[in-house]
Amino acid sequence: MSETQEPEQWLITQHARLIRKSDLVVIWASGKKAGVYALGQIITRPAKNALNPNQGKYFLNKDDIDKFQQHFSSYVEYLNVFLKKPLLLEQCNQDKILMDMQVFANPQGTNFRLTAEQWNRILELQTKPLEAQSSS
């Protein structure tokens, strides 16, 4: 995810038939500081398209770029980006609603379904003041 907040093309390797234009999405980053870093909306229907050349610079591995011709992808418009105050993995694991998110079962995947309850909980936690979050 770039810091420009311009729409970006995201790879879809699972659930392509279920994803629709206007669907809302959570952007999860893996790694040492894994967590929810943004909320967005699908603005194009899934299709097999080459990677947008402007985004190629974000990929270190050419094989990852080639996946865009093999799998579906969509553009996501960012609605809320919280790079400085993400909803981190530890907090999700301690939350009764978020601890069962599909991303925990296979963190190497690319697309995971959320329940309405999980989506609403993420929204709730991202709009709470930071002090109140620690007591949840």
Q: Residue 132's pLDDT is what?
A: 43
Q: Where are the beta strands (DSSP E) in 1-136?
A: 8-12, 24-29, 35-42, 72-81, 87-88
Q: Residue 38's pLDDT is what?
A: 93
Q: Residue 130's pLDDT is what?
A: 45
Buried b / exposed e across 121-136, counting CB within 10 Å, b at 16+? Answer: bbeebbeeeeeeeeee
Q: Mean pLDDT score of the chain, rounded to an integer?
A: 87
Mean pLDDT value of segment 113-135: 77
Mean pLDDT value of segment 104-131: 82
Domain ranges (residues) in the chain: 8-114
